[in-house]
Amino acid sequence: MLKLNDVYFNYHNDTPRELQVLRGVSLSLGEGEYISLVGNNGSGKSTLAKIICGLLKPSEGTVIWSSEESNRLIPGHRTRVGLILQNPDNQIFSGTVEEDVAFGLENLQTPLVEMKRKVEDTLRSLHLWDKKDHPTHLLSGGEKQKLAIASIVVMEPECLILDEATVSLDYRSKEQVLETIMFLKKTKRVAIIQITSSIDEVISSERVILLDKGKILYDDQVSSFLKDSEIMDLIGFDMPAYVSISQELIGRGLIKEVCYTREELADRLLWEYQYRT
Amino acid sequence: MFQNYKNLSGYYLSLNSVIHKLNPQVKLICMILLMSGLLINYNLVIILMYSLVLLPAYQIAKIPLTVLYNSFKPLIWIIFFSSVAHLFTTPGEPLLSIGFLSLTVEGIQKSLILSTRLILIIGFTMLTSLTTSPVNLVEAISSLLKPFSWLRLPVNQFSLMLSLSLRFLPVIYEEAERIKKSQVARGANFSSWSLKSKVNNVVSIIIPMIYSAIIRADDLAIAMEIRGFKIGEKRTRLKETRFNFIDLVILILTIIIFIITFFL
Ligand SMILES: Nc1ncnc2c1ncn2[C@@H]1O[C@H](COP(=O)(O)OP(=O)(O)OP(=O)(O)O)[C@@H](O)[C@H]1O
Ligand SMILES: [Mg+2]
């Protein structure tokens, strides 16, 4: 769906303050993929996100969208990539929920009938419909971030990037956002890139890309990432509790495979128990 | 130090009434006409006539008069002093003399009329902002300013700025509160009356607010661009404002009142 070829990026290009942030990033992204982008502060994650969105142009290298897909797009009637930032307050422009979701479509000059339908569909599918006339400044943090996502989703992006979008949210709101992401991935085949420093969020994704000083140092399945303690150490991730517990259990011969979530571990133990008795 | 923004005078009260549903442009024009009428000419009859417009209007809009009264509170001294000044400085039949000051019948009349006029003017302004959502109000203002874009004045930018400011009023208010709390936690004393600590306190709030405003502006620009916003570009609207029969009636009535003002 999307390919980055050897992308370089400098801030303040061709000035004495030139700062090289991306140094030869290549990656490809498929429909409905769910990726975690991790890396230390200043490694260039946000910059990469802006490159993918087209907010910044690479100093060198190319960003290519697969061509057959671009044919079915009506130019100007949707965005390809949506970007969600950390603070939802800075991404909401209107007084009510419904108006804010419509904001992007208004900019794309969507005809009224179509706009109404899309706004309603989006709000209903994200369970925000009964809040449509709610003043935006009275929503909870999680609801605000969900609204920010809804406002992007209504524009039918192929890819959604969340730049530390859940950092300021409490546990329940994080769950809400995660549910929303999973829903989009499954029903709309939206590719998700989440920039995160939380191991719990990494576990829910499928693939991990580790950016280090502007280079991709690691790009593999989540399951292999979680077993790689060297890489995990590099960015200061702790081994998630269920992984270390299951490694301990493997060591004692109780189970045979690493489990990543509570449910998985419980199921595995139950299965072993029933199998043995 | 910061007033609660929800109690800021003139904050929108979302109710369901005929006046709430009026076309915002019509409402704005009516307000301007009524205010100019009051400024152009005044006497007892005119004041009575305008009061007979204002009071039922509040009734119809379902806004309790206490809301109106609350918004006068900060102005009560101004009204008081200006009426006292008129009481004693208007020439005419003296009722009572204290030294060189004399209380006159004309003075009583004039001070009553002038303070009522001030109350009426504020009343009409309040009615408009209480019954029109900020977004609609801004749109009405910018559509009335449209002709000026002919003169190459940045009307679009101005109305965008206005609507964003209104949108971020509550956000900025909350932020100020948060910063204030964290400064108190660091030992700032906001109840002190000394000028020096007052200045210090204001600075300790303003600086972090400027910092976060810059970050906010950066985020805003990104978020708007992502959602396809381009300044001055054509947009469609989810909620078109319509012009109904009732708008026409209200507009005509207001124009009649405005014209009558000249002959009273
Ligand atoms: N607008 C800008 N102008 C100049 N330099 C910038 C700009 N934005 C970021 N940088 C610099 O580019 C480098 C990478 O920044 P970036 O925001 O992409 O990192 P990041 O991985 O997102 O970090 P974090 O985890 O802190 O969000 C940093 O050294 C930063 O100082
Ligand atoms: Mg970042």
Task: pLDDT band for A239, please (50, 70, 90 cuts).
Answer: confident
Residue B205 confidence (pLDDT) above 80: yes
Question: CA-to-CA distance for B252 and B260, rounded, in angstroms?
Answer: 12
Residue B225 lies in a domain: yes
Burial B17-47 (b: 16+ CB within 10 A, else e): eebbebbbbbbbbbbbbbbebbeeebeeebb
**In a shared domain, residues A148 and A175:** yes
Residue A67 confidence (pLDDT) above 70: no
**In a shared domain, residues A177 and A146:** yes
Question: Which DSSP helix (H) or strand (E) runs through B143?
Answer: helix B134-149
Question: CA-to-CA distance for B131 and B127, rounded, in angstroms?
Answer: 6
**In a shared domain, residues B254 and B172:** no
Q: To the nearest whole percent, how much of chain B has pLDDT over 90?
A: 17
Residue B180 confidence (pLDDT) above 80: yes
**In a shared domain, residues A98 and A227:** yes
- Check if the beta carbon of residue A37 is closer than 8 Å to that of residue A192: no
Paired residues of A84 in beta bridges: A162
**CB–CB contact A89 B171 (8 Å):** yes
Residue A8 lies in a domain: no
Residue B246 pLDDT: 92
How far does the centroid of ligand 2 lie from the alpha carbon of residue A45, in Å? 6
Locate B200 and state its tokens.
């210090």
Give chain A's count of helices (H) and strands (E): 11, 9
- Tens digits of residue pLDDT in A124-180: 988 889 998 888 878 888 889 999 999 999 998 989 999 999 888 888 888 888 888
**In a shared domain, residues B115 and B182:** no
Tell me which residue range forms the domain holding B84: 1-132+240-264
Instruction: Tell me which residue has tokens 């303070």.
Output: B115
- Check if the beta carbon of residue A9 is closer than 8 Å to that of residue A16: no
Please state the rounded mean pLDDT for residues B32-59.
90
**In a shared domain, residues A189 and A170:** yes
**In a shared domain, residues A142 and A41:** yes
Q: To the nearest whole percent, how much of chain A has pLDDT over 70?
A: 96
Is A42 in the B-facing interface, judged by CB distances under 8 Å? no
How many residues are given for chain B? 264
**In a shared domain, residues A258 and A127:** no
Report in angstroms the alpha-carbon separations of A254 from A69, A240, A243: 49, 19, 14
Residue B112 lies in a domain: yes
Task: pLDDT band for B8, please (50, 70, 90 cuts).
Answer: very low
A163: nearest CA in chain B? B219
**Amino acid at site A202:** V
Report in angstroms the alpha-carbon separations of A17 from A23, B4, B241: 17, 44, 50
Q: How large is the ipTM?
A: 0.80
**In a shared domain, residues B189 and B213:** yes
Question: CA-to-CA distance for A258 and A265, rounded, in angstroms?
Answer: 8
Please state the rounded mean pLDDT for residues B197-218.
83
Is A222 in the B-facing interface, judged by CB distances under 8 Å? no
Instruction: Tell me which residue has tokens 């989440």.
Output: A194
**CB–CB contact B227 A152 (8 Å):** yes
Worst-scoring range by mean pLDDT, A101-115, A203-217, A236-250, B69-83?
Answer: B69-83
Q: Give A223's Cβ-side CA count (13 Å radius).
A: 3
Residue B138 lies in a domain: no
Is A135 in the B-facing interface, judged by CB distances under 8 Å? yes
**In a shared domain, residues A41 and A155:** yes
Residue A188 lies in a domain: yes
Q: Which ligand is nearest to the CA of A55?
A: 1
Q: Which residue has the higher pLDDT, B64 or A69?
A: B64
Is A205 in the B-facing interface, judged by CB distances under 8 Å? no
**CB–CB contact B133 A95 (8 Å):** yes
How far does the centroid of ligand 2 lie from the alpha carbon of residue A199, in Å? 17
Most confident of A53-67, B98-112, B145-159, B242-256: B242-256
Give chain B's count of helices (H) and strands (E): 10, 2
Locate A186 and state its tokens.
């499954």
Q: Least CB-CB distance to B236: which of A91, A92, A115?
A: A115
**In a shared domain, residues A210 and A231:** yes
Q: How far is B147 from chain A (nearest CA, A)?
A: 23
Q: φ, ψ for residue A146 (rounded to 5)? A: -65, -40
Residue A250 lies in a domain: yes
Q: Least CB-CB distance to A108: which of B133, B223, B228?
A: B228
Residue A10 lies in a domain: no
Task: pLDDT band for B41, please (50, 70, 90 cuts).
Answer: confident
**CB–CB contact B236 A90 (8 Å):** no
Residue A15 lies in a domain: no
Sign of torsion, CA B129 B134 B135 B137? Answer: positive
**In a shared domain, residues A171 and A258:** no
**CB–CB contact A83 B226 (8 Å):** yes
**In a shared domain, residues A46 and A132:** yes
How far does the centroid of ligand 1 lie from the alpha carbon of residue B186, in Å? 30
Per-position DSSP letters for B66-99, written without gaps between them? HHHHHHHGGGHHHHHHHHHHHHHHS-S-EEEEET
Residue A3 lies in a domain: no
- Chain A residues inside the 8 Å CB shell of B6: none
**In a shared domain, residues B54 and B113:** yes
Q: How far is A186 from chain B (nearest CA, A)?
A: 23
Residues 6+ apart with CB under 8 A from A92: A100, A136, A144, A147, A148, A151, B167
**Amino acid at site B62:** K
**In a shared domain, residues B93 and B224:** no
Is A109 in the B-facing interface, judged by CB distances under 8 Å? yes
Q: How many cross-chain Cβ pairs, A to B, lie less than 8 Å apart?
A: 83
**In a shared domain, residues B61 and B175:** no
Q: How far is A144 from chain B (nearest CA, A)?
A: 12
Question: CA-to-CA distance for B226 and B189, rounded, in angstroms?
Answer: 43
**In a shared domain, residues A93 and A150:** yes
Residue B231 confidence (pLDDT) above 80: no
Report the candidate in B48, B220, B261, B9 with the shortest Cα–Cα distance to residue B127.
Answer: B9
Residue A29 pLDDT: 92
Worst-scoring range by mean pLDDT, A76-80, A95-99, A201-205, A233-237?
Answer: A76-80
Q: Least CB-CB distance to A109: which of B134, B236, B239?
A: B236
Worst-scoring range by mean pLDDT, A64-73, A135-144, B172-181?
Answer: A64-73
**In a shared domain, residues B96 and B23:** yes
Residue B182 lies in a domain: yes
**CB–CB contact B226 A55 (8 Å):** yes
Per-position DSSP letters for B15-63, written without gaps between them? ---HHHHS-HHHHHHHHHHHHHHHHH---HHHHHHHHHHHHHHHHHTT-
Q: How far is A119 from chain B (nearest CA, A)?
A: 9
Paired residues of A83 in beta bridges: A161
- Check if the beta carbon of residue A38 is closer than 8 Å to that of residue A210: yes
Locate A112 and state its tokens.
């009224």
Q: Least CB-CB distance to B171: which of A79, A103, A137?
A: A137
Q: Which residues line ligand 1 (CB under 6 A)?
A: A 11, 19, 21, 39, 41-47
- Chain A residues inside the 8 Å CB shell of B220: 90-91
Burial class from Cβ neighbours inside 10 Å (0-12, 13-18, 19+) for residue B258 reads middle
Question: CA-to-CA distance for A221 and A208, rounded, in angstroms?
Answer: 6
Tell me which residue range forms the domain holding A245: 240-277
Residue A114 lies in a domain: yes
- Chain B residues inside the 8 Å CB shell of A137: 170-171
- Tens digits of residue pLDDT in A19-49: 999 999 999 999 999 999 999 999 999 999 9
> Domains in chain A: how many in total?
2
Residue B104 pLDDT: 80
**In a shared domain, residues A165 and A217:** yes
Residue A4 lies in a domain: no
**CB–CB contact B238 A92 (8 Å):** no
Residues 6+ apart with CB under 8 A from B77: none
- Tens digits of residue pLDDT in B80-138: 887 888 777 777 777 777 777 777 888 888 888 888 888 898 889 888 888 887 767 87
Is A105 in the B-facing interface, judged by CB distances under 8 Å? yes
> Domains in chain B: how many in total?
2
**In a shared domain, residues B18 and B41:** yes
Residue B140 lies in a domain: no
Measured in whole angstroms, the distance separating CA B158 from the mean position of its chain's CA atoms is: 18
Residue B18 lies in a domain: yes
Task: pLDDT band for B5, please (50, 70, 90 cuts).
Answer: very low
Q: Which residue has the higher pLDDT, B131 or A78?
A: B131
Residue B185 lies in a domain: yes
**In a shared domain, residues B250 and B228:** no
Report in angstroms the alpha-carbon separations of A132 from A97, A122, A141, B69: 5, 11, 16, 33
Question: CA-to-CA distance for B195 and B191, rounded, in angstroms?
Answer: 11
Average pLDDT over chain B reads 81
Q: Which ligand is nearest to the CA of A211?
A: 1
B173: nearest CA in chain A? A137
Is A116 in the B-facing interface, judged by CB distances under 8 Å? yes
Residue A221: give its domain's CATH number. Answer: 3.40.50.300
pTM of the model: 0.74
**In a shared domain, residues B84 and B183:** no
Task: pLDDT band for A78, please (50, 70, 90 cuts).
Answer: low
**CB–CB contact B226 A119 (8 Å):** no
**In a shared domain, residues B173 and B263:** no
Is A82 in the B-facing interface, judged by CB distances under 8 Å? yes
**In a shared domain, residues B26 and B62:** yes
Residue B245 pLDDT: 92
